[in-house]
Structure 1
Amino acid sequence: MRVLKFGGTSVGSVANINQVINIVKNGAQDQKIAVVVSALGGITDLLMQAGTDASNKEDYNTAFKDIEAKHIEFTRTLIPDSKEALDEIKNLLGNLESLLQGIYLINELSPKTVDKLLAYGEILSSSIIARAMYAQGLDAVRKDSRDLITTNDKHTKAGVNYKVTNSQVEYYFTKAKQKITVLPGFIASTAQGETTTLGRGGSDFTAAIVAAALDVDQVEIYTDVSGMYTANPKMVKQAKPIDSISYHEAMELSHFGAKVLYPPTIVPVMSKNIPIRIKNTLQPEDPGTLIHNQEGLSDNPIKGLSNINNVALLTLEGGGMVGIPGISKRLFETLSNQGINIILITQASSEHSICLGVMEEDAGKAKNAIDEEFEYEISLNKIDPLTIEIGLSIIALVGDQMKSHQGISGKMFSTLGKNNVNIRAIAQGASEKNISAVIAQKDVKKALNSLHERFFEAQRKQLNLFITGVGNVGEKLLNQIQQQQEYLKKQLNINMRVLGLSNSRKMLVDENGIDLQNWSTLLDAGEPATLDGFLDHVVELNQRNSIFVDITANADVADMYGKYLKQSVAVVACNKIAAASDFKNYSELKRLSKAYNAPLLFETNVGAGLPIIDTLNNLIASGDRVNRIQAVLSGSLNFVFNNFKSGDSFHDVVQAAKAEGFTEPDPRIDLSGVDVARKILILARESGLKINLEDIENEPFLTENNLNSSDVPHFFETLKEDAEHFEKLVAQAEAKNCRLKYVAQLDNGKASVGLQEIPEGHPFYNLEGSDNIVLFFTDRYPTQPMQIKGAGAGGDVTASGLFADIIRTATF
């Protein structure tokens, strides 16, 4: 004997019902089958809507007509030539309409009436499906489950009388001659014949009750997914089916929101050690999930993640609770008397407070009842009035073997903390099969994805990028990301996605990732860009491991860093303005980075793609001390003076540098020394000095006329006007067999920048093109400095430096 149950989605369309019939047909070759069916997809909700409308004296006909139309359509399509079948369904629909009219007239919808009303969903579906099977040549008979399953009179969630039920089920199937018996799920009856229901999801329960009574080898639950998943696949795309799971693990997961299985289903079959197989109606060849009496250790002690939304946290606290017996008893009895189910309980060891999780819909009723129960203690200020927090969810980590593995809870809470998910309450039983945490409902998706990544994805980390500034460097970065995505996945276990792009005009955000082959066209069609609007999108998406990448030279963008860090969004920047801003702001950004566990990385601020800041930080972290720094830090200035010879036009050389992209859009930033001053300032600060930009001595080589130019075109005109000045500078250097280099220095806590004549033999003398060089003189490198040298400007190398910083965030 086999017992198969098909849920609402499995019988939600004519095509799906035909698939159900094929599954049953293939399984009925050599043994009898009991087929338990739910109401057609969506019908139970429509029935409840119709009943509610009727009880409120509102128009219930709209919902009823939808119910009627769907069942008649299914009947005519599945059993096209059967007037008898159509008459039966129309008769049942007539009875339903009469019931709704009665509810309308008496203006009442009691639990007893709700059961009568909702039962029609399964009564109708089982009638249609049984007749459809018979029409297709199957030996199928419908049997009303109310004749087999006897319950108490607790309507809407009745308790089963197993002794009577088992006897009735066993007797019926012993006598039954047909090969296939179709049973309506969810419904039962009292000993007096009154219709009851087994709770929403009770069709699973019906199948388990029948299976246990008949002592079958296995129960097969067919749904629209291929088993129980490690997490809700609608929220966690990387979720995967669980091969096998224990009864207790399945019960925990289903209790905490896994909709595949109704929790009470497990009880009757577990006592007889009958496995449950969860399978996919549309992909019946998939193995699905086996729920059984599992033993033995596995590599991963975590079997799944789940969550319950719309939770309210109730807190009863006060000094008058400490050491007073009976407080908990009174609290729980009060809720029990109100019919309120408690989802989570946690109590401080000081006995000063008790926190309870209930469904939001019960929170108001709970507060009224509890405040009334403790009215005397509240009036004496011994206990505070009950406080309620709403907008919460419970997330649960489930696994029988967690108790045999150390550090599970530590990994769970540290992962949530790193992603700025605040925990309001924690509950963990002594059995350690479940660790539950109450969090804000808005954080559920990020929490589940973060935990799934931590426990199920072989340490693959997903990085979600939001990039502002997509000019030359930004375009190079996007090309590099697209080119390296597969490498990152295979070699570094990093899944890098670009979710947001912005320039000065448009912005584009896509939760599923932006197509990097077509990003420019998509961005052009985006919405108008604002800095706060872009931030709002990032916060609203609330993705784990989010990174804001600034590829601008804009002060307003730099001012946004603190807002991103406070949202635990990492910041990667080639924009030097923030790191070179007032020391108070610089140190505050560093503080926020630590406080919110959000990396703040700006390697490209100095030397583009050269590992200058990282090397400096490693020296200091290892206990070394920096005594002096000498550096050529401007790729643009090095390019200019490497190409400027006596007799050349300084104006033309600067124009060429700008055209090559070696300078800022405003070359005055480079040539005035401000850019280099910012870079040595950043190195000084990373060395541990508390200095500001005005503390750096800047010896300009530009003329007053150049420095006072009104705009960039005017600046280039002044370079022509002062050509003699620049000719003199280069001629004097060449006369001494020296080369001009713009040098930054840090010595004994003092920093300076300026043009210097570098003699032959000096490390700076042969510095070519737009290369940078840095010499670190430290306690460990006192005479032969540590030297870093290479390309210090250009779109590709700057993009590669940003790319390296982005990857570095994955290690935090």
Structure 2
Amino acid sequence: MKVLKFGGTSVGSAKNIQQVANILSDYQQSGQRVAVVVSAMSGITNKLIEVGNRAASGDETYKSLLKDIESTHLTAIRELIEVRRQSKTIAFVKLQLNDLEDILRGIFLLKELSLRSLDILQSFGERLSSYIIAEFLTQEGVPAEQLDARKVVRTNSVFGGAKVDFVTTNSAITKHFAETDKMQIVTGFIASSESGETTTLGRGGSDYTAAIFGAALNATEIEIWTDVDGVMTTDPRVVPTAFSLQQLSYEEAMEMSHFGAKVIYPPTLQPAIKKNIDLRIRNTFNPSFPGTLVTSKSGQEDWPVKGISSIKEIALVTLSGSGLIGVPGVSSRLFGALARGGVSMILITQASSEHTITFAVAPGDATESKKIIEEEFFNEMASGKVNPVEVQNNLSILAIIGENMAHRPGVAAKLFSALGKNGVNIAAIAQGSSELNVSVVIEQKHLHKSLNALHEIFFLSDMAELNVFMLGLGLIGNTLLTQMRDQAEYLLTERNLRLNVVGAANSKKMIFNETGLDISLPKDEILAEGETSSAAGFVEKMIEMNLPNSVFVDCTAGDSAVKLYEKILLNSISITTPNKIANSSSLDYYLRCQAAAKRRGVKFLYETNVGAGLPVIGPLQDLKRSGDKIIKIEGILSGTLSYLFNTFSAGMKFSELVKDAKEMGYTEPDPRDDLGGVDVARKILILAREAGYHMEPSDVTVKPILPQACMDAESVDDFFVELEKANDLFEKQRAEAEIDGKALRMVATLDEEGKATVSLEAVDNSHPFHGLVGSDNMVVFTSRRYFNEPLVIRGPGAGAEVTAAGVFAEIITIGNFLIN
């Protein structure tokens, strides 16, 4: 014998009832005897409560709502039952609805809706649905009959949540089933008292009915048929990657139910546990799926955590004060007073110092809890021994659950680490000695992000996802998108990392999609449906989305987004950027951004600020972290200037060389931005700060290489006119250097006293800079360890490909940091 229970959604329409009938027909044809418990049609119980409330308030619109209830059932009959058989079914329904109407009329006249009356009202939902289903099954060749559970399930007279008399009930159920061979379609949720009055079994009562019948009949299994594929790892409405579990223990199921899992109601399990009967949660609309087995043992999966449950809305109430320390009976007084006031606590935690006791309640109970405590501890508060009661609202509870957590080191660490890396603060923690459950209280606004982050770390450790927000789709940004697209399969298969671009923008449009943008499309198509773009608007939307494992990629050249870096970091979003403005602007802002990243435990990476794709900042930071002392930094830090002076040779006009470089895209639109040394000054400033020197931009001395007339030219064309006049000046410097066996190089230098300069220098063939070719950059670190043989780093220092590759590498670094 199996007991099957079908919920309101499963029997919510004629089409759904037909699906239920197909399932039951399969059982009948296989020779498996089953008893079937059904709920009211979807939404009917709520309507019955509403119709009662309207009648009790003297609102005659209850009659129209009653008509809606009647219409729902008559429509189902007409769609399910053949015309020649409809009269019997309709007559039964009409008779029941007439009784319902009489009861409502009495409620309307008395202006009173007692719990006793409410139980009677609610019973009609199951009474109607079970009869219609039994008649349809009989018509379809499955001999069935309605069993009104009030005939066999006996309870006390506590209306709204009656207690079952199992001795009487078990005897009545056993006797009834011994006398019939027909499939019994049992009304869920309802029962009757010893005096024959209708009672209900409380929230989740239909599941409870199934467990009662299963235990009485010694069923081999109780199947709870609902609209999901079993018990999910977490709420699939919040976490799209949630999946169904194969097996849970009774204890795990009860813990998950307590913390928000809707497919199982805890009291349902009690009769099954007592008889050691397995439960299985199955999907009416996917009957071939085996669902989740709930049994005495946890599943064999190797996951330490079996599920992540949550309660979206709770409040924390805290009692504190020196008057609590070492005083016997404080907890008894507190919890006793709350119990007398009818307040149910969800979570309790107490500091080891006994100075504070904190508990979580439903938001609606917070004010009442505060009032009860203040009355109970009035004298202590008046004397100052106990502090005023503190209430924190807008909170949620997260709970990780699993028997395999017991004695498994590192589970709690993963929980706290994942939350911490995503900027989620924990307001309270509770864990039982069984280690079956670790619960934390967090801000409600972070619940979505937290569930996704924890689900990924505990269930999808073989595949991690990083949410990427890209601002700036110019040359570097677009190149980066191409690289991400080309490497997507490799990252997924070899690194188990998925880069999910959820936001993208250029100077005109921005677009967001939490499930990810299609980066295989050209950038114009990606942005086609976007809204008007601004750096501030992009950042606000990114913060509002509050996604886990997020990184902001700034590929712009201006300062609009830079001004928001501190805000981004303080919202626990990591940053990678080739934009060097933030790190070369005021020292105060540089330090604030560094402090914000450290405070929130996120990454602020900018390797491409100095060497494009060349690793310069990383090695410098490694030297500093290892205790080395930087004595001197010398650098060729501009790919453009490197190209110009590496290429400049006898017979060349310097002005023509610059013009050719501009046409090839090597220089900025205005070459003075390169030749003026400002870009190089920013880079040596960044290196100086990374080396530990607190310097302002004004502390870098740039020795101009261009005549003032070139700098003062009103246009780029005028600049080239003036530059042509200076050809002899540049040729003279080149020739003098060549005579001495030297070469001209634009060198940035930081000495041990913290003096930074940028100047055009002639270096001999003993210097590493002498042999540079093309647009290569080079940085030379002289330190206490690298004194006689300085550390030399050389490679391409400019270009969209290498710069984008450097940013791409930092995105992967951030992904590994956030997810591992």
- Asked whether 1:536 is paired with 2:540, we answer yes
| Partner secondary structure for residue 332 of structure 1 | helix
Match of 1:205 in 2: 208
Q: 1:78 to 1:566 in 2, by over 3 A?
A: same
| Partner secondary structure for residue 559 of structure 1 | helix
Match of 1:381 in 2: 384
Q: Give the AA of the match of 1:775.
A: V
The whole-number CA distance in structure 2 between the counterparts of 1:68 and 1:704 is 92
- Asked whether 1:20 is paired with 2:20, we answer yes
The whole-number CA distance in structure 1 between the counterparts of 2:488 and 2:563 is 31
Match of 1:729 in 2: 730
**Equivalent position to 1:705, from 688, 709, 712:** 709
Write out per-residue CA displacement over residues 22-73 of structure 1, whole angstroms, 9 at most, x where no aligned residue: 1111112313211111222222233333333333344335544443332222
| Partner secondary structure for residue 769 of structure 2 | coil
Q: Give the AA of the match of 1:70.
A: T
Q: 1:321 to 1:762 in 2, by over 3 A?
A: closer
**TM-score (norm: length of structure 1):** 0.95
Q: 1:150 to 1:606 in 2, by over 3 A?
A: same
> Which has the higher mean CA deviation after the structures are superposed, 508-517 or 772-781?
772-781
- Asked whether 1:166 is paired with 2:166, we answer no
The whole-number CA distance in structure 2 between the counterparts of 1:242 and 1:727 is 80
CA contact (8 A) 1:482 1:516 kept: yes
* 1:185-334 alignment, distance < 5 Å: 185-294=188-297, 299-334=302-337
| Partner secondary structure for residue 249 of structure 1 | helix
Q: Give the AA of the match of 2:213.
A: V
CA contact (8 A) 1:187 1:195 kept: yes
**Equivalent position to 2:588, from 568, 584, 587:** 584
| Partner secondary structure for residue 515 of structure 2 | coil
> Which has the higher mean CA deviation after the structures are superposed, 59-68 or 167-176?
59-68
Match of 1:594 in 2: 598
| Partner secondary structure for residue 811 of structure 1 | helix
**Equivalent position to 1:456, from 459, 474, 478:** 459
CA contact (8 A) 1:650 1:719 kept: no
Match of 1:604 in 2: 608
CA contact (8 A) 2:654 2:730 kept: no
Shift of 1:459: 5.2
Q: 1:68 to 1:533 in 2, by over 3 A?
A: farther
Shift of 1:228: 1.0
Write out per-residue CA displacement over residues 718-741 of structure 1, whole angstroms, 9 at most, x where no aligned residue: 222231214431453146435433
- Asked whether 1:421 is paired with 2:416, we answer no
Gaps of 5+ in 2: none
The whole-number CA distance in structure 2 between the counterparts of 1:299 and 1:378 is 51
> Which has the higher mean CA deviation after the structures are superposed, 120-129 or 602-611?
120-129
Shift of 1:566: 0.7
The whole-number CA distance in structure 2 between the counterparts of 1:665 and 1:601 is 27
Match of 2:481 in 1: 478
Match of 1:49 in 2: 50
Shift of 1:394: 0.9
Q: 1:76 to 1:695 in 2, by over 3 A?
A: same
CA contact (8 A) 2:670 2:716 kept: no
Write out per-residue CA displacement over residues 63-104 of structure 1, whole angstroms, 9 at most, x where no aligned residue: 444433322221111114222212322333343344344433
Q: Give the AA of the match of 1:801.
A: G
Match of 1:73 in 2: 75
Q: 1:628 to 1:130 in 2, by over 3 A?
A: same
- Asked whether 1:772 is paired with 2:774, we answer no
The whole-number CA distance in structure 1 between the counterparts of 2:643 and 2:102 is 90
Shift of 1:653: 4.4
The whole-number CA distance in structure 2 between the counterparts of 1:589 and 1:524 is 33
Write out per-residue CA displacement over residues 615-666 of structure 1, whole angstroms, 9 at most, x where no aligned residue: 2222333333332222211112223344555665655544554554444455
Q: Give the AA of the match of 2:371.
A: N
The whole-number CA distance in structure 1 between the counterparts of 2:797 and 2:67 is 73
Q: Give the AA of the match of 2:696.
A: N
* 1:49-198 alignment, distance < 5 Å: 49-58=50-59, 59-61=61-63, 63-81=65-83, 82-178=86-182, 180-198=183-201
Tell me the percent identity: 45
Gaps of 5+ in 1: none
CA contact (8 A) 2:649 2:734 kept: no
Match of 2:680 in 1: 676
Q: 1:626 to 1:61 in 2, by over 3 A?
A: farther
Write out per-residue CA displacement over residues 758-796 of structure 1, whole angstroms, 9 at most, x where no aligned residue: 445643344333321222223333333332222211111
Q: Give the AA of the match of 1:212.
A: A
- Asked whether 1:343 is paired with 2:346, we answer yes
The whole-number CA distance in structure 2 between the counterparts of 1:91 and 1:658 is 92
Q: Give the AA of the match of 2:791.
A: M
Match of 2:32 in 1: 31
Shift of 1:594: 1.0
Q: 1:306 to 1:735 in 2, by over 3 A?
A: same
* 1:591-740 alignment, distance < 5 Å: 591-644=595-648, 650=654, 653-654=657-658, 656-658=660-662, 660-664=664-668, 667-709=671-713, 714-734=715-735, 736-737=737-738, 738-740=742-744
**Equivalent position to 2:798, from 793, 800, 805:** 793
The whole-number CA distance in structure 1 between the counterparts of 2:208 and 2:671 is 75
The whole-number CA distance in structure 2 between the counterparts of 1:463 and 1:124 is 51
The whole-number CA distance in structure 1 between the counterparts of 2:501 and 2:655 is 40
The whole-number CA distance in structure 1 between the counterparts of 2:100 and 2:760 is 93
The whole-number CA distance in structure 2 between the counterparts of 1:251 and 1:171 is 31
Shift of 1:480: 1.5
| Partner secondary structure for residue 690 of structure 1 | coil
Q: 1:108 to 1:793 in 2, by over 3 A?
A: farther
Q: 1:538 to 1:9 in 2, by over 3 A?
A: same
Q: 1:439 to 1:789 in 2, by over 3 A?
A: same
Q: Give the AA of the match of 1:55.
A: A
CA contact (8 A) 2:234 2:308 kept: yes
The whole-number CA distance in structure 2 between the counterparts of 1:636 and 1:552 is 19
**Equivalent position to 1:520, from 519, 524, 529:** 524
Q: Give the AA of the match of 1:485.
A: A
The whole-number CA distance in structure 2 between the counterparts of 1:149 and 1:726 is 105
| Partner secondary structure for residue 618 of structure 1 | helix
Match of 1:393 in 2: 396
Q: Give the AA of the match of 2:798.
A: A
**TM-score (norm: length of structure 2):** 0.94
The whole-number CA distance in structure 1 between the counterparts of 2:718 and 2:773 is 28
Q: 1:640 to 1:194 in 2, by over 3 A?
A: farther
Shift of 1:336: 1.8
The whole-number CA distance in structure 2 between the counterparts of 1:421 and 1:160 is 44
Match of 1:551 in 2: 555
Q: 1:114 to 1:681 in 2, by over 3 A?
A: same
CA contact (8 A) 1:465 1:499 kept: yes
Write out per-residue CA displacement over residues 273-298 of structure 1, whole angstroms, 9 at most, x where no aligned residue: 11111112122222211111116976
The whole-number CA distance in structure 2 between the counterparts of 1:448 and 1:526 is 28
Q: Give the AA of the match of 2:788.
A: T
CA contact (8 A) 1:661 1:795 kept: no
| Partner secondary structure for residue 119 of structure 2 | helix
Match of 2:41 in 1: 40
Write out per-residue CA displacement over residues 677-732 of structure 1, whole angstroms, 9 at most, x where no aligned residue: 1111111211222222221221111222333355xxx1442222231214431453
Q: Give the AA of the match of 1:50.
A: V
CA contact (8 A) 2:654 2:727 kept: yes
CA contact (8 A) 2:613 2:797 kept: yes
> Which has the higher mean CA deviation after the structures are superposed, 202-211 or 315-324?
315-324
Tell me the matched-pair count.
Answer: 808
The whole-number CA distance in structure 1 between the counterparts of 2:372 and 2:666 is 72
The whole-number CA distance in structure 2 between the counterparts of 1:47 and 1:726 is 94
| Partner secondary structure for residue 749 of structure 2 | strand
Shift of 1:136: 0.9
CA contact (8 A) 2:634 2:750 kept: yes
The whole-number CA distance in structure 2 between the counterparts of 1:615 and 1:30 is 74
The whole-number CA distance in structure 2 between the counterparts of 1:736 and 1:536 is 54
**Equivalent position to 1:566, from 552, 570, 595:** 570
